[in-house]
Amino acid sequence: MRKRSHRSRAAVVIAAAAVLGLAGCDASGGNEAAPQDTTAKSHPSPKPTPAWDRSPASIAAVGDSITRGFDACTVLSDCPEVSWATGSDPGVDSLAVRLLGAAGAARRSWNYAVTGARMADLPGQVAQAAQRKPELVTVMVGANDACRPSTSAMTSVTRFREGFEDAMDTLRESLPRAQVYVSSVPNLKRLWSQGRTSPLGKQVWSLGICPSMLSHPDALDAAAGKRRDKVQARVTAYNRVLEQVCARDRRCRFDGNAVFHYRFGTEQLSHWDWFHPSRNGQARLAEIAYRTVTAKDPVT
């Protein structure tokens, strides 16, 4: 009776061990550790690519005489090597050099600006620049739209807007992810006030530089003041257009009117025409552009 009881208990222990062993096998796959249940774990989503890259790898510049370095080296001549956007002059330290280094700027920056260009010319320049597939396009245009033979000949604000929208559409058709830096139009009235004390500057102005603002530079009568104020108001309106159109594109940055508000002095102006930027002035434009392009957040 006692032996039978021992044998019964032993059988129960063995059976229980066998059940637990089988359960352990099913749960853990034999001698391997039990697999972790990954279905319940949440994996962090990859960080979204920021819309604005503060270190683009290539640059194309479009615009007018300022971006061509006009009158910065010799009188009435382009000097693209001192361009604020793509120049190679060490004294300017252009935007391209600051972003790409001197060697990189020589290989991966291009200047399609044209002296005398207006907003109507911008879509064609942008189409040319897009062929290079730049990661950043710089835009500085609008001074020549205000600098006309008379105030009545200035580009209307409506046409100015249409031209800029057309240029942006042209760029986006070819390069939907390219970034755009947009400079404000300089304060032309300040340039007049700085340069009108130079006899040489006024002689060069008489050759036809920005007559709507600079003709009869010594005239201080009411009519002359009204003419200059009208040009100034048009430049302000152009800058508002540049800001508004740029704001609709998440890969576009306007300089927040930094160029318009910059107080160009005698050191920053060409000593031939006292209107276009000198080397020093080009360097200041490069600083403004670099600060805007590399800022964490857009200028407001």
> Quick one: tokens of 151?
């105030």
Q: Residues of the chain with pLDDT > 70: what percent?
A: 83
CA distances to 179, 195, 248, 249 from 243, in Å: 15, 28, 9, 10
Out of 3.30.830.10, 3.40.430.10, 3.40.50.1110, 3.40.50.1480, select the CATH number for domain 59-294. Answer: 3.40.50.1110
Secondary-structure percent of the chain, ordered helix, strand, coil, rounded to 5: 50, 5, 45
Residue 24 has pLDDT above 50, yes or no: no
Q: Return the pLDDT at 200.
A: 86
φ/ψ of 246, rounded to 5, equals -65, -35
Which residues make Cβ contacts (< 8 Å) with residue 132, sequence separation at least 6?
Answer: 58, 60, 110
Mean pLDDT lowest for which of 3-7, 83-87, 210-214, 279-283? 3-7
Q: What is the pTM of this model?
A: 0.83
- In the structure, what pLDDT confidence band is assigned to residue 146 with cuts at 50, 70 and 90? very high
Burial class of residue 241 in the structure, from the number of CB atoms within 10 Å of its CB (0-12 exposed, 13-18 middle, 19+ buried): buried
- In the structure, what pLDDT confidence band is assigned to residue 23 with cuts at 50, 70 and 90? very low
Q: Return the pLDDT at 98.
A: 98
Instruction: Let me know: does 114 contact 125? Beta carbons within 8 Å.
Output: yes
In DSSP terms, which residues pair with 138 in a beta bridge?
61, 181
- In the structure, what pLDDT confidence band is assigned to residue 45 with cuts at 50, 70 and 90? low
- The domain segmentation of the chain, as residue ranges, is 59-294
CA distances to 183, 234, 265 from 256, in Å: 8, 17, 20
Strands (E), the chain: 59-63, 109-111, 136-140, 179-182, 252-254
Q: Return the pLDDT at 236.
A: 98
- In the structure, what pLDDT confidence band is assigned to residue 44 with cuts at 50, 70 and 90? low
d(CA 186, CA 261) in angstroms, rounded, equals 7
Q: Return the pLDDT at 50.
A: 62
In DSSP terms, which residues pair with 124 in a beta bridge?
none
Q: Return the pLDDT at 85.
A: 98
Which residues make Cβ contacts (< 8 Å) with residue 201, sequence separation at least 6?
Answer: 195, 272, 273, 274, 275
- In the structure, what pLDDT confidence band is assigned to residue 20 with cuts at 50, 70 and 90? very low
**Mean pLDDT (the chain, rounded):** 87
pLDDT digits (tens, 9 = 90+) for 157-203: 999 999 999 999 999 999 999 999 999 999 999 999 999 988 888 88
Residue 138 has pLDDT above 80, yes or no: yes
Q: What is the mean pLDDT of residues 267-285?
A: 95
Residue 32 has pLDDT above 60, yes or no: no
Residue 4 has pLDDT above 50, yes or no: no
- In the structure, what pLDDT confidence band is assigned to residue 49 with cuts at 50, 70 and 90? low
Residue 38 has pLDDT above 60, yes or no: no
pLDDT digits (tens, 9 = 90+) for 66-87: 999 999 999 889 999 999 999 9
Q: What is the mean pLDDT of residues 272-292?
A: 96
- In the structure, what pLDDT confidence band is assigned to residue 43 with cuts at 50, 70 and 90? low
Q: Return the pLDDT at 248.
A: 96
